[in-house]
Amino acid sequence: MKKRIFHRGYTIENTTGVTNEWTSSIKGNPVSGTLTEVKKSVDWWLDMSTFIPPQKFSSQTTKSGSTSENYRGFTIRNDTGKSNEWYLVLRGQLLKGNATSIKQYLDKVIEKQTKAQ
């Protein structure tokens, strides 16, 4: 059964029905892998203007200590497991530090945005 998902303006397809065989095209480059890996490739291309094939993400997800946390709709990541090495890309700006500081900054940004509306 053919499945099609739209992620941030890109079409990601699964034509075989096998869960690990999703395909798309980023900047003319055909990509394939798990749905999560293909989505990460699209995210990197849109956020950083850097093409990273999905296979690079599969080796990173197996690292011990790699974790992420959703906070108010944003994903805060930590690849090393150290408490002060969390990061987030917000509006093209890289935020780094401990998770508590990043959350406090996000709270201020969201509060400021809601007051402006």
74 lies in the same domain as 49: no
Which range marks the domain in which residue 37 is found?
A: 3-60
31 lies in the same domain as 75: no
Phi, psi (degrees; rounded to nearest 5) at 49: 55, 35
End-to-end CA distance of the chain: 44
> What is the per-residue pLDDT for 15?
86
56 lies in the same domain as 71: no
Put simply, whether the predicted model's pTM sits higher than 0.85 gets the answer no
53 lies in the same domain as 72: no
Q: Give 14-54 pLDDT, tens digit per residue.
A: 988 887 889 999 988 899 998 889 999 999 899 888 888 88
54 lies in the same domain as 72: no
> What is the per-residue pLDDT for 64?
53
CA distances (Å), origin 84, targets 11, 25, 27, 41: 36, 36, 35, 26
User: Which one has a higher pLDDT value, 23 or 60?
Assistant: 23
* pLDDT at position 60 over 60: no
Q: How confident is the model at residue 62 (pLDDT cuts 50, 70, 90)?
A: very low
Residues in the chain, how many?
117
45 lies in the same domain as 80: no
> What is the per-residue pLDDT for 38?
92
55 lies in the same domain as 85: no
- Percent of the chain exceeding pLDDT 90 equals 37
> What is the per-residue pLDDT for 59?
56
Residue type for position 10: Y
Q: Are 60 and 79 in contact (CB under 8 A)?
A: yes
75 lies in the same domain as 35: no
Counted domains in the chain: 2
> What is the per-residue pLDDT for 97?
92
73 lies in the same domain as 104: yes
55 lies in the same domain as 16: yes
Count CA atoms closer than 13 A to 11's CA, side-chain side.
7
76 lies in the same domain as 49: no
CA angle 60, 65, 69 (to 5 degrees): 90
> What is the per-residue pLDDT for 4?
94
**H/E element holding 87?**
strand 86-90
Hey, what are 30's tokens? 């055909």
From 15, 32, 60, the end of a domain falls on 60
